[in-house]
């Protein structure tokens, strides 16, 4: 069963040699570097060799809604034609850690879609998994209880981070921006989950201590 995820990594790792040949630039960027800025059209796709990046939407008032996180082996946005989406000026893609990335033009990715069926299937598969995540976001946002929202997000996010040998390395502000709640609500939810000994929090993020206790606070729709 394919799990809902918010962190995407390794999906395009098998195609790194071909993507490296097609890239027009490889660059090292510091934490905080904006790869794609809100208010601008997206002209490049980014394959992450090393590092951790965040994709979000920014509204007219500057409020940020985080959509997804990306690590090594991720190619995002997966765009293979030179047309622009209505929401594109709201897109923001930023490095949360020092990162090494390949920069590719949509035309280069389009050529790979046409010539490599395995890559075309991988791109379609990625879009399917990403669409599933966005549907899950809508369901989670409908939950009234902030504790349930936070617990469900941690439950769904943890497996992908665990595969990278990490806890969930997000700040309270970032979790709030994913779930559409305030940082204070996240802090209160963490306090409840800590009291239940379901999680431990630290400066670098969250560690799950007891998955069964965490599941007691999750939306039943997402338990597997």
Per-residue pLDDT reduced to its tens digit, 122-145: 999 998 988 888 887 777 777 668
Most confident of 5-14, 19-28, 64-73, 87-96: 19-28
Supply the DSSP string of 185-207, one letter for each residue: HHHHHHHHHHHTTSEEEETTEEE
Identify the helix (H) or strand (E) that includes residue 53. strand 53-58
Average pLDDT, integer, range 20-40:
91
Most confident of 34-43, 162-171, 179-188: 179-188
Instruction: Convert the pLDDT of each residue in 155-167 to its tens digit.
Output: 888 877 776 666 7
Cα 103 from Cα 77, distance rounded (Å): 11
Beta bridge partners of 65: 57
Phi, psi of 150 (to 5 degrees): -65, -45
- Please tell me the pTM assigned to this model: 0.85
In this structure, of 109-113, 171-175, 201-205, the range with the lowest mean pLDDT score is 201-205
Cα 16 from Cα 18, distance rounded (Å): 6
Structural domains of the chain sorted by starting position, each given as residue range(s) with its CATH number in brackets: 7-132 (2.60.120.10), 143-218 (1.10.10.10)
Instruction: Convert the pLDDT of each residue in 51-105 to its tens digit.
Output: 989 998 888 787 888 888 899 999 988 765 555 555 667 888 999 889 999 999 9
Q: Note the pLDDT of residue 187.
A: 94
* Tokens 């040949």 belong to residue: 21
Going by pLDDT thresholds of 50, 70 and 90, the confidence category of residue 119 is very high
Residues 6+ apart with CB under 8 A from 144: none
């Amino acid at each position: 069963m394919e799990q809902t995820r918010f962190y995407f990594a390794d999906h395009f790792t098998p195609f790194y040699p071909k993507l490296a040949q097609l890239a027009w630039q490889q660059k090292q960027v510091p934490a905080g570097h904006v790869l794609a800025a809100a208010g601008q059209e997206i002209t490049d796709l980014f394959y992450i060799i090393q590092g951790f990046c965040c994709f979000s939407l920014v509204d007219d008032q500057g409020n940020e809604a985080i959509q997804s996180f990306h690590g090594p082996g991720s190619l995002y946005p997966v765009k293979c034609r030179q047309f622009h989406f209505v929401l594109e000026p709201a897109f923001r893609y930023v490095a949360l850690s020092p990162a090494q990335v390949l920069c590719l033009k949509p035309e280069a990715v389009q050529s790979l879609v046409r010539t490599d069926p395995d890559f075309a299937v991988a791109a379609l598969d990625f879009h399917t998994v990403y669409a599933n995540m966005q549907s899950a976001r809508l369901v989670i946002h409908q939950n009234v209880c902030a504790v349930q929202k936070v617990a469900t997000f941690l439950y769904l996010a943890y497996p992908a981070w665990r595969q990278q040998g990490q806890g969930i390395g997000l700040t309270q502000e970032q979790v709030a921006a994913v779930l559409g709640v305030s940082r204070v609500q996240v802090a209160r939810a963490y306090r409840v989950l800590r009291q239940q000994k379901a999680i431990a929090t630290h400066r670098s993020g969250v560690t799950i201590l007891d998955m069964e206790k965490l599941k007691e606070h999750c939306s039943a729709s997402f338990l597997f």
